[in-house]
Amino acid sequence: MRLNLAALLLLPFVFLAGCKEDMANVTVPEPLALTEEAAGHYCQMIILEHQGPKAQVHLAGMSEPLWFSQVRDGIAYLKSPEQSADILVLYVNDMGAAQSWLEPGADNWIDANTAYFVVGSDAIGGMGAPEIAPFAETTKAEQFALEHGGEIMRLKDIPAEVVLSPIEFTTTSLELSE
């Protein structure tokens, strides 16, 4: 009887180990180019109609990514305590490769885990909220921070409060030359 009880108690751990192994074998999808059909996950508005960097989140079992009008929103999705989906990857626009703040690019995506983020700058994103500016190169992030303020962080170091706390929206457009 004791052996059967021990086996029953271990069963959930064996199942979870199997799930973890299944996720390890999942291929991480490549980023998709931003198109006119892409609509923001939260706002359902056309992404291309908004300034600043964007984000795309790829989930296990879904062929299309979730699009976000702001990088801040993509990171909020990732760090939300209610989020329970298996996130394969979060891609963000590399603003060091963007034509401008108004034209962040359609195919200059980088994995958010490798990006350098400028947090707390004067940059305003596509939905009028403060934005987090991502860069592939630390030197470009440093230059942006010198011009616009903020602190350089890696994704894992961005506190959840930065993206999940209430914010004040602005009605003015900040046109950045970056």
Angle at 76 between CA 71 and CA 78, to 5 degrees: 100
The whole-model pTM stands at 0.79
Is residue 136 helix, strand or coil?
coil
pLDDT by residue for the chain (178 residues), tens only, comes to 555 544 444 444 444 444 444 556 778 999 988 887 876 777 767 777 788 999 999 999 999 999 999 999 999 999 999 988 999 999 999 999 999 999 999 999 999 999 999 999 999 988 788 999 999 999 999 999 999 999 999 999 999 999 998 877 655 555 555 4
The answer to whether residues 85 and 59 touch, using CB atoms and an 8 Å cutoff, is yes
DSSP type of residue 71: H
Domains and CATH numbers, the chain: 2-164 (3.30.70.2060)
